[in-house]
Structure 1
Amino acid sequence: MKSLEHILMEVLAGWNGEHVSEPVLAAVRELATDARFDDITLSLKAFVARFGRQSLVYSVNHLPGVLLHNYVYRSTEASAAIVDEYWLNNEAGAAIKAAAFKDGQLAMVVSKIIQDLDAMTVLALSDRSE
Protein backbone atom coordinates (compact mmCIF):
# COMPACT_ATOMS: atom_id res chain seq x y z
CA MET A 1 0.00 0.00 0.00
CA LYS A 2 1.34 3.41 -0.96
CA SER A 3 1.93 6.02 1.70
CA LEU A 4 -0.30 9.08 1.74
CA GLU A 5 2.69 11.24 0.85
CA HIS A 6 3.45 9.06 -2.18
CA ILE A 7 -0.14 9.24 -3.38
CA LEU A 8 -0.21 13.02 -3.02
CA MET A 9 3.10 13.40 -4.85
CA GLU A 10 1.81 11.19 -7.69
CA VAL A 11 -1.46 13.05 -8.15
CA LEU A 12 0.25 16.43 -8.03
CA ALA A 13 2.98 15.31 -10.46
CA GLY A 14 0.35 14.27 -13.00
CA TRP A 15 -1.70 17.42 -12.59
CA ASN A 16 -1.72 20.12 -15.27
CA GLY A 17 -2.30 22.86 -12.68
CA GLU A 18 -5.73 23.91 -13.90
CA HIS A 19 -8.41 22.44 -11.63
CA VAL A 20 -7.54 21.57 -8.05
CA SER A 21 -10.35 19.02 -8.08
CA GLU A 22 -8.34 16.76 -10.40
CA PRO A 23 -5.59 15.81 -7.92
CA VAL A 24 -7.96 15.98 -4.95
CA LEU A 25 -10.46 13.53 -6.43
CA ALA A 26 -7.70 11.29 -7.80
CA ALA A 27 -6.24 10.98 -4.29
CA VAL A 28 -9.68 10.41 -2.75
CA ARG A 29 -10.48 7.66 -5.28
CA GLU A 30 -7.30 5.78 -4.47
CA LEU A 31 -7.68 6.19 -0.71
CA ALA A 32 -11.38 5.24 -0.73
CA THR A 33 -10.62 1.98 -2.51
CA ASP A 34 -8.51 0.94 0.48
CA ALA A 35 -10.92 2.38 3.10
CA ARG A 36 -8.34 4.95 4.19
CA PHE A 37 -10.85 7.49 5.44
CA ASP A 38 -8.55 9.19 7.94
CA ASP A 39 -6.05 9.70 5.11
CA ILE A 40 -8.82 11.23 3.00
CA THR A 41 -9.37 13.78 5.77
CA LEU A 42 -5.63 14.42 6.02
CA SER A 43 -5.32 14.88 2.25
CA LEU A 44 -8.29 17.26 2.15
CA LYS A 45 -6.70 19.32 4.93
CA ALA A 46 -3.38 19.34 3.05
CA PHE A 47 -5.05 20.57 -0.12
CA VAL A 48 -6.89 23.27 1.84
CA ALA A 49 -3.61 24.39 3.41
CA ARG A 50 -2.02 24.64 -0.03
CA PHE A 51 -4.88 25.95 -2.18
CA GLY A 52 -7.51 27.34 0.20
CA ARG A 53 -10.89 25.99 1.24
CA GLN A 54 -12.78 27.70 -1.59
CA SER A 55 -10.71 25.74 -4.13
CA LEU A 56 -12.06 22.46 -2.72
CA VAL A 57 -15.80 23.23 -2.91
CA TYR A 58 -16.26 21.16 -6.09
CA SER A 59 -14.21 18.27 -4.67
CA VAL A 60 -16.08 18.18 -1.37
CA ASN A 61 -19.41 18.28 -3.19
CA HIS A 62 -18.32 15.24 -5.20
CA LEU A 63 -16.80 13.36 -2.25
CA PRO A 64 -20.00 11.41 -1.45
CA GLY A 65 -20.27 10.13 -5.02
CA VAL A 66 -16.62 9.11 -5.08
CA LEU A 67 -17.04 7.18 -1.82
CA LEU A 68 -20.25 5.62 -3.09
CA HIS A 69 -18.65 4.31 -6.26
CA ASN A 70 -15.19 3.48 -4.94
CA TYR A 71 -16.13 1.99 -1.58
CA VAL A 72 -19.78 1.67 -0.57
CA TYR A 73 -21.12 -0.39 -3.47
CA ARG A 74 -18.40 -3.02 -3.04
CA SER A 75 -18.36 -3.03 0.76
CA THR A 76 -21.93 -3.98 1.53
CA GLU A 77 -24.13 -6.96 0.85
CA ALA A 78 -26.92 -4.54 -0.07
CA SER A 79 -28.14 -4.53 -3.64
CA ALA A 80 -27.54 -1.46 -5.76
CA ALA A 81 -31.25 -0.65 -5.45
CA ILE A 82 -31.06 -0.63 -1.64
CA VAL A 83 -27.89 1.47 -1.71
CA ASP A 84 -29.45 3.95 -4.11
CA GLU A 85 -32.64 4.21 -2.05
CA TYR A 86 -30.63 4.75 1.14
CA TRP A 87 -28.40 7.32 -0.56
CA LEU A 88 -31.37 9.35 -1.75
CA ASN A 89 -33.44 9.18 1.44
CA ASN A 90 -30.98 9.29 4.33
CA GLU A 91 -28.78 12.29 3.63
CA ALA A 92 -25.66 10.15 3.42
CA GLY A 93 -23.98 12.69 1.18
CA ALA A 94 -24.57 15.52 3.63
CA ALA A 95 -23.19 13.43 6.49
CA ILE A 96 -20.07 12.62 4.48
CA LYS A 97 -19.47 16.26 3.57
CA ALA A 98 -19.99 17.33 7.19
CA ALA A 99 -17.46 14.76 8.40
CA ALA A 100 -14.85 15.26 5.68
CA PHE A 101 -12.57 17.64 7.59
CA LYS A 102 -13.11 16.28 11.11
CA ASP A 103 -10.47 13.86 12.36
CA GLY A 104 -11.85 10.34 12.69
CA GLN A 105 -15.38 11.32 11.70
CA LEU A 106 -15.39 10.27 8.06
CA ALA A 107 -14.56 6.67 8.98
CA MET A 108 -17.38 6.67 11.53
CA VAL A 109 -19.92 8.05 9.07
CA VAL A 110 -19.01 5.57 6.34
CA SER A 111 -19.07 2.71 8.85
CA LYS A 112 -22.57 3.73 9.94
CA ILE A 113 -23.69 3.87 6.32
CA ILE A 114 -22.42 0.34 5.72
CA GLN A 115 -24.09 -0.88 8.93
CA ASP A 116 -27.38 0.72 7.92
CA LEU A 117 -27.20 -0.80 4.45
CA ASP A 118 -26.43 -4.24 5.80
CA ALA A 119 -29.35 -3.96 8.24
CA MET A 120 -31.65 -2.92 5.40
CA THR A 121 -30.49 -5.97 3.45
CA VAL A 122 -31.31 -8.29 6.35
CA LEU A 123 -34.76 -6.74 6.63
CA ALA A 124 -35.36 -7.05 2.90
CA LEU A 125 -34.33 -10.71 2.96
CA SER A 126 -36.53 -11.49 5.96
CA ASP A 127 -39.49 -9.76 4.27
CA ARG A 128 -39.03 -11.97 1.21
CA SER A 129 -38.89 -15.18 3.23
CA GLU A 130 -42.18 -14.50 4.99
Structure 2
Amino acid sequence: MRLLIIDQNAESVSALCEALGTGHAAVVTGNWLEALSHLKAGCFEVALMNFDLSGFPGLKFVLSRLPELYPQICFIAYGQGAAVQQARRHGTVEVLPLPFTPEKLRQALAVRRPDLVLRPTARRTFRQP
Protein backbone atom coordinates (compact mmCIF):
# COMPACT_ATOMS: atom_id res chain seq x y z
CA MET A 1 0.00 0.00 0.00
CA ARG A 2 1.24 3.50 -0.80
CA LEU A 3 0.76 5.86 2.17
CA LEU A 4 1.11 9.54 2.84
CA ILE A 5 1.51 10.20 6.57
CA ILE A 6 1.06 13.81 7.66
CA ASP A 7 2.27 14.25 11.22
CA GLN A 8 5.01 16.31 12.88
CA ASN A 9 5.55 13.89 15.76
CA ALA A 10 8.17 11.20 15.07
CA GLU A 11 6.81 8.97 17.85
CA SER A 12 3.32 9.12 16.36
CA VAL A 13 4.65 8.25 12.91
CA SER A 14 6.58 5.33 14.36
CA ALA A 15 3.46 4.02 16.12
CA LEU A 16 1.44 4.33 12.90
CA CYS A 17 4.05 2.42 10.92
CA GLU A 18 4.14 -0.28 13.60
CA ALA A 19 0.34 -0.53 13.55
CA LEU A 20 0.28 -0.85 9.77
CA GLY A 21 2.95 -3.55 9.65
CA THR A 22 5.37 -4.25 6.83
CA GLY A 23 5.03 -4.19 3.08
CA HIS A 24 3.95 -0.57 2.66
CA ALA A 25 5.66 2.37 0.99
CA ALA A 26 5.23 5.56 3.03
CA VAL A 27 6.06 9.20 2.47
CA VAL A 28 6.12 11.12 5.75
CA THR A 29 5.79 14.88 6.13
CA GLY A 30 4.95 17.18 9.01
CA ASN A 31 4.12 20.11 6.77
CA TRP A 32 0.68 20.59 5.18
CA LEU A 33 1.97 22.56 2.19
CA GLU A 34 4.49 19.82 1.49
CA ALA A 35 1.72 17.23 1.92
CA LEU A 36 -0.39 18.97 -0.72
CA SER A 37 2.61 18.96 -3.03
CA HIS A 38 3.06 15.21 -2.46
CA LEU A 39 -0.64 14.63 -3.17
CA LYS A 40 -0.35 16.44 -6.49
CA ALA A 41 2.80 14.59 -7.53
CA GLY A 42 2.31 11.16 -6.02
CA CYS A 43 -0.09 8.33 -6.29
CA PHE A 44 -1.23 7.24 -2.86
CA GLU A 45 -3.92 4.85 -1.70
CA VAL A 46 -4.19 6.18 1.85
CA ALA A 47 -3.41 9.48 3.58
CA LEU A 48 -3.22 9.38 7.38
CA MET A 49 -3.20 12.80 8.99
CA ASN A 50 -2.91 14.31 12.41
CA PHE A 51 -5.86 16.69 12.49
CA ASP A 52 -4.16 19.57 14.25
CA LEU A 53 -5.38 22.85 12.82
CA SER A 54 -2.59 24.97 14.30
CA GLY A 55 -0.14 26.50 11.87
CA PHE A 56 -2.29 26.16 8.76
CA PRO A 57 -5.31 28.50 8.71
CA GLY A 58 -6.74 27.12 5.47
CA LEU A 59 -6.67 23.51 6.61
CA LYS A 60 -10.44 23.25 7.15
CA PHE A 61 -11.07 24.26 3.54
CA VAL A 62 -8.35 21.98 2.20
CA LEU A 63 -9.70 18.98 4.11
CA SER A 64 -13.20 19.67 2.87
CA ARG A 65 -11.92 19.47 -0.72
CA LEU A 66 -9.39 16.61 -0.54
CA PRO A 67 -11.77 13.70 -1.21
CA GLU A 68 -13.26 15.59 -4.13
CA LEU A 69 -9.84 16.39 -5.61
CA TYR A 70 -8.38 12.93 -4.92
CA PRO A 71 -11.30 10.47 -4.88
CA GLN A 72 -8.98 7.48 -5.22
CA ILE A 73 -7.35 8.18 -1.84
CA CYS A 74 -8.71 7.03 1.51
CA PHE A 75 -8.30 9.96 3.94
CA ILE A 76 -8.17 9.14 7.64
CA ALA A 77 -7.69 11.88 10.24
CA TYR A 78 -6.81 11.29 13.86
CA GLY A 79 -6.77 13.64 16.81
CA GLN A 80 -8.24 14.37 20.17
CA GLY A 81 -10.66 16.79 21.80
CA ALA A 82 -11.91 19.69 19.72
CA ALA A 83 -9.89 18.61 16.67
CA VAL A 84 -11.91 15.39 16.41
CA GLN A 85 -15.20 17.31 16.58
CA GLN A 86 -14.01 19.72 13.88
CA ALA A 87 -12.91 16.86 11.63
CA ARG A 88 -16.25 15.10 12.07
CA ARG A 89 -18.13 18.26 11.07
CA HIS A 90 -16.46 18.14 7.67
CA GLY A 91 -17.77 14.64 7.01
CA THR A 92 -15.21 14.21 4.26
CA VAL A 93 -12.69 12.03 6.06
CA GLU A 94 -12.79 9.05 8.39
CA VAL A 95 -11.95 10.22 11.92
CA LEU A 96 -10.19 8.19 14.60
CA PRO A 97 -10.21 9.69 18.09
CA LEU A 98 -7.00 9.19 20.05
CA PRO A 99 -6.09 6.81 21.52
CA PHE A 100 -6.85 4.10 18.96
CA THR A 101 -5.65 0.57 18.40
CA PRO A 102 -4.23 -0.98 15.23
CA GLU A 103 -7.53 -2.87 14.91
CA LYS A 104 -9.49 0.42 14.82
CA LEU A 105 -7.16 1.68 12.09
CA ARG A 106 -7.70 -1.50 10.06
CA GLN A 107 -11.48 -1.16 10.52
CA ALA A 108 -11.40 2.46 9.32
CA LEU A 109 -9.43 1.42 6.25
CA ALA A 110 -11.80 -1.48 5.57
CA VAL A 111 -14.80 0.87 5.63
CA ARG A 112 -13.24 3.47 3.33
CA ARG A 113 -11.24 1.10 1.11
CA PRO A 114 -12.54 -2.48 1.33
CA ASP A 115 -10.04 -3.48 -1.38
CA LEU A 116 -7.15 -2.82 1.03
CA VAL A 117 -6.45 -5.62 3.47
CA LEU A 118 -4.19 -5.19 6.50
CA ARG A 119 -3.08 -8.12 8.58
CA PRO A 120 -3.02 -7.76 12.36
CA THR A 121 0.56 -7.06 13.40
CA ALA A 122 0.77 -4.91 16.50
CA ARG A 123 -1.20 -4.69 19.70
CA ARG A 124 0.04 -1.22 20.58
CA THR A 125 -2.43 1.58 21.27
CA PHE A 126 -1.74 4.71 19.26
CA ARG A 127 -1.91 7.95 21.27
CA GLN A 128 -0.45 11.42 21.24
CA PRO A 129 2.56 11.81 23.57
- Structure having the higher Rg: 1
TM-score by length of 2: 0.32
Return the structure number with greater helix share. 1
In terms of fraction of residues, the more strand-rich structure is 2
TM-score by length of 1: 0.32
